[in-house]
Structure 1
């Protein structure tokens, strides 16, 4: 028996209720995902493929998470300091994020389960480790602090005395922003809808201000000068520089724990088999909760479902390409051009470059546009970070502990949202905690970069070893994910070695960018990275070759860069 096709349609997402207990259990055959011993999947048909305009949303939230980090702060800073040759590295990193993000979506498209549930099937320690890493990287309100600092500078806010504590204007504004984020979730029954609408509005505003900024101060001469500035400074790799670079690579499109939210956002939006899973509602809205089933639903590989899978994969990639990738490149290019024009060679921090070096030399109108753009971009990112951390973490906590304890997923989400926003307010309130907001961003960004190598390997393992032939990635994507893992693994090892040798004084672990010349401990770090990377590559290739010919007519599911 398949799902009831009666739709419960929301303004921005679609949900199809299912008589879950009446669905047939998927057989343990080659044409079904491998679930291990942790609960069998049910079986139903893959929903029809909608037009592109009806699924826009998840990638817009991801773009919002990116605008205030790498695109506004890290990449303009790096290009101004080292030259335009690094912009090619940004384009490469943006492509890597496109591949990784869409691969994070794959398991959810095929089963309706979140990527964290898939990881739990491997071992419960995997999502728990990501939860810890997510808090370390995102638990500091650096974006709210940076947005507040820029907003306070634009409004010329002074110093306030609150409960006997001296709070600079931007601190108070940062606290207000965190409160506003919390309040926004109370505006509608369905949590995701609020986030999507506000993020679309904020992202649209950021892009509009970026285009206006280029119209005011950009020029053809600036663009034509790029080839003559394709140089790289000879500055030695200090830990701060490598940390910023790794953070910029991670945030060339959200990064770290944020990327993993793509799985949950497409489930909320109703992509693929996620259409049969429930949505997270405001527990105080009065509506009946929708069940998010522990074990997902797979589809039989008949001709109709195989054609639909190819269609879903095509429209999913288009949504991410046109919304996330294109928006990312356009905004980053504009902001980098502006910073390079007015602050080439600067060694200042990102926020200070904008406020102390760019704003003073442009006209009043351009200054207003810069303040508005930076404020919107940074606030958009903080909003997406709160959403991402809370949604990811509530999914992990609920599946590992809350479901068996009888908790409601909606209540877990709301409680964690309240705690996380309150924690951000406390950090902003403490006078000495965030004197340098950009320092918080560097710590969080570099940690996000360190997270990406291991979880890219895990995602690829899940999608290739656990999925059947018709839904597993093609060779083009397998090779791209090998590169993505190696890309982030390289910079992670480099940063780890530099940190251990310079900050902790453990010279034994010194690493060199060329690998050759690293100290003994650094060499062992490179060796461990290489062994793990090659072992996963071998297992993935083995699974891909073994799956060939196991599902009849599997080629019908193949499409562009599948």
Structure 2
């Protein structure tokens, strides 16, 4: 994807011919493989219909839900590209974990503790690749894929999203940082921020296009800004220990293996990159970008443009995996998303967290007492200490800039989370709640968007949470549990619902299985060993 792709209203993979974004009847049919071809290629679930007449509609049958018609896979864009759908995972990943949780752990246990961050964010890069596999092959979300395996599995994620992502933790933490520099109460800023997000998304013609542009600008400011300030505040020794600390595999001081801090580490690993269900929502952003078979699915529009919303097909599509030309295009899409996963997502996330780790170490030099304050339970002390190190770089303005960075992270994450939550809930509701299709996808999206906004305002003004940090901590247990659960779901969906030629290999399956054990194992070890799930 070059710069023209980013600035264009036409998503990747979409053509502008009539019918691309229209209901099924308007999409040109393509003949699928014959029964013999299907068996030879491993696509034994292909349903060829009642006759073998040339040009007859062919399908891929996955689970007990509606069959997927065979359609052409669009040509893949160049592998090397600027930010595309991965901007959502970068925006959600570069959040409170990188700027708040991990700097706190570095201050307490040293940069060597960051080997756990390296493991966590690397696992998430592989998860990102596997989430994209099903979405690009079918145009369906991973939630639809889960329903094809077992409908209650999908409903588990529907309920989990309602329990986890209705809490305005990221925005409230960012608003708290803004209060430090403006004096405006964090509740007022957070409420204003949520209303602003709601209005912007409501007025957007195509929600995806607006969000990609906004988040690209925010991520650019964040990456450049934190790198510059880290260079001013830190030194080569800080940078060296930050990098080498990532490879101190197995390092775990005694204090970390305690009821006070091991649950914090578990929660921080969950927040190393996008946490909870954010990877699952990525499949919906791929679809709206027109990646792979998502080119055959209409995009979500803002409520103000709901009348322009095209009718959604009742299921996704599959390409002919027995055709060499189609498989060549598939490999091109896999190269494209692999670049996304390891160069953009992994690389940018690591760059930002390296900057914040350098700042954390510099703050310990400027204020050696900060470690004692953190041990005594003052959760915001890490942020105050890093702001002080900014100020010590030469001007009080730098301290203000630091808190503005934290505020930007909170707003950034809120844009991504509110959109993703609304997108995911609307998708499951539209396809699986009886009677929901009488409403357009854009109206369902708006319903969940304003629902989470109004609930968040109620929590901020009258809720029981103990300030921003208390709200943020409520996310960690279910986030970690959801991550283990979605790894299991990935294994089932990609190995049972896709044709054999495009299923994951043994190495990939082993990595995803390890991720499931890693997340769930640490979570339940914390529960049974210490009687605490998060802290």
Equivalent-residue separation in structure 2 for 1:326 and 1:232 (angstroms): 25
Give CA-to-partner distance per residue, 1:91-119, whole Å, 9 cap, x none.
11111000111111111111111111111
Give CA-to-partner distance per residue, 1:463-516, whole Å, 9 cap, x none.
1122122211122212211221121121122133246x469xxxxxxxxxxxxx
Equivalent-residue separation in structure 1 for 2:192 and 2:76 (angstroms): 42
Structure 1 residue corresponding to 2:151, chosen from 90, 99, 124: 124
Equivalent-residue separation in structure 2 for 1:190 and 1:444 (angstroms): 29
For 1:161, the equivalent position in structure 2 comes to: none
**SS, match of residue 393 in structure 1:** helix
CA contact (8 A) 1:74 1:350 kept: no
For 1:15, the equivalent position in structure 2 comes to: 14
For 1:243, the equivalent position in structure 2 comes to: 263
Structure 2 residue corresponding to 1:347, chosen from 371, 375, 379: 375
CA contact (8 A) 2:174 2:410 kept: yes
Structure 2 residue corresponding to 1:99, chosen from 126, 141, 144: 126
For 1:307, the equivalent position in structure 2 comes to: 328
CA contact (8 A) 2:76 2:329 kept: yes
Equivalent-residue separation in structure 2 for 1:443 and 1:109 (angstroms): 33
CA distance 1:428–1:228, change in 2 (3 Å): closer
CA contact (8 A) 2:93 2:274 kept: yes
Equivalent-residue separation in structure 2 for 1:404 and 1:287 (angstroms): 17
**SS, match of residue 95 in structure 2:** helix
Matched, 1:493 2:527: no
CA contact (8 A) 2:104 2:382 kept: no
For 1:482, the equivalent position in structure 2 comes to: 513
For 1:57, the equivalent position in structure 2 comes to: 84
**SS, match of residue 174 in structure 1:** helix
CA distance 1:248–1:199, change in 2 (3 Å): same
For 1:282, the equivalent position in structure 2 comes to: 302
Matched, 1:334 2:359: no
Equivalent-residue separation in structure 1 for 2:270 and 2:143 (angstroms): 20
For 1:318, the equivalent position in structure 2 comes to: 339
Structure 1 residue 326, shift from structure 2 partner: 0.5
Structure 2 residue corresponding to 1:141, chosen from 157, 168, 171: 168
For 2:3, the equivalent position in structure 1 comes to: none
Structure 1 residue 15, shift from structure 2 partner: 3.3
Equivalent-residue separation in structure 2 for 1:39 and 1:336 (angstroms): 49
For 2:385, the equivalent position in structure 1 comes to: 357
For 1:293, the equivalent position in structure 2 comes to: 313
Matched, 1:379 2:411: yes
Give CA-to-partner distance per residue, 1:162-218, whole Å, 9 cap, x none.
xxxxxxx11111111111111111332111111111111111111121112112201
CA distance 1:107–1:120, change in 2 (3 Å): same
Structure 2 residue corresponding to 1:416, chosen from 435, 448, 451: 448
Equivalent-residue separation in structure 2 for 1:125 and 1:143 (angstroms): 29
CA distance 1:354–1:211, change in 2 (3 Å): same
**SS, match of residue 341 in structure 2:** helix
CA contact (8 A) 1:146 1:351 kept: no
CA contact (8 A) 2:145 2:497 kept: no
Equivalent-residue separation in structure 2 for 1:260 and 1:353 (angstroms): 33
Give CA-to-partner distance per residue, 1:248-289, whole Å, 9 cap, x none.
212211111111011100000000011111111124326532
For 2:504, the equivalent position in structure 1 comes to: 473
Matched, 1:223 2:239: yes
CA distance 1:310–1:355, change in 2 (3 Å): closer
CA distance 1:228–1:256, change in 2 (3 Å): closer
CA contact (8 A) 1:77 1:339 kept: yes
Matched, 1:258 2:290: no
RMSD of aligned alpha carbons: 2.5
CA contact (8 A) 1:15 1:278 kept: no
For 2:57, the equivalent position in structure 1 comes to: none
CA contact (8 A) 1:60 1:200 kept: yes
For 1:407, the equivalent position in structure 2 comes to: 439
Structure 1 residue 334, shift from structure 2 partner: 1.1
Matched, 1:206 2:222: yes
For 2:402, the equivalent position in structure 1 comes to: 370
Q: Report how many aligned residue pairs link the two structures.
A: 482
Equivalent-residue separation in structure 1 for 2:256 and 2:306 (angstroms): 59
For 1:435, the equivalent position in structure 2 comes to: 466
Structure 1 residue 67, shift from structure 2 partner: 1.5
Q: 1:117-196 to 2 correspondence within 5 Å?
A: 117-157=144-184, 169-196=185-212
CA contact (8 A) 1:73 1:351 kept: no
Equivalent-residue separation in structure 2 for 1:228 and 1:456 (angstroms): 27
For 1:36, the equivalent position in structure 2 comes to: 63
Equivalent-residue separation in structure 1 for 2:474 and 2:412 (angstroms): 19
CA distance 1:131–1:175, change in 2 (3 Å): same
Q: Which runs of 5+ in 1 are unaligned?
A: 1-8, 158-168, 504-562
Structure 1 residue 121, shift from structure 2 partner: 1.1
For 1:234, the equivalent position in structure 2 comes to: 254
Q: Which runs of 5+ in 2 are unaligned?
A: 1-7, 47-59, 365-369
- TM norm structure 2: 0.84
- Mean alpha-carbon deviation: is it higher for 87-96 or for 285-294? 285-294
Matched, 1:270 2:274: no
CA distance 1:108–1:433, change in 2 (3 Å): same
- Mean alpha-carbon deviation: is it higher for 118-127 or for 263-272? 118-127
Structure 1 residue 366, shift from structure 2 partner: 2.2
Give CA-to-partner distance per residue, 1:228-258, whole Å, 9 cap, x none.
9966431264455333222221221111111
**SS, match of residue 463 in structure 1:** helix
Structure 1 residue 313, shift from structure 2 partner: 0.2
CA distance 1:255–1:34, change in 2 (3 Å): farther
For 2:481, the equivalent position in structure 1 comes to: 450
CA distance 1:403–1:190, change in 2 (3 Å): farther
- Mean alpha-carbon deviation: is it higher for 105-114 or for 18-27? 18-27
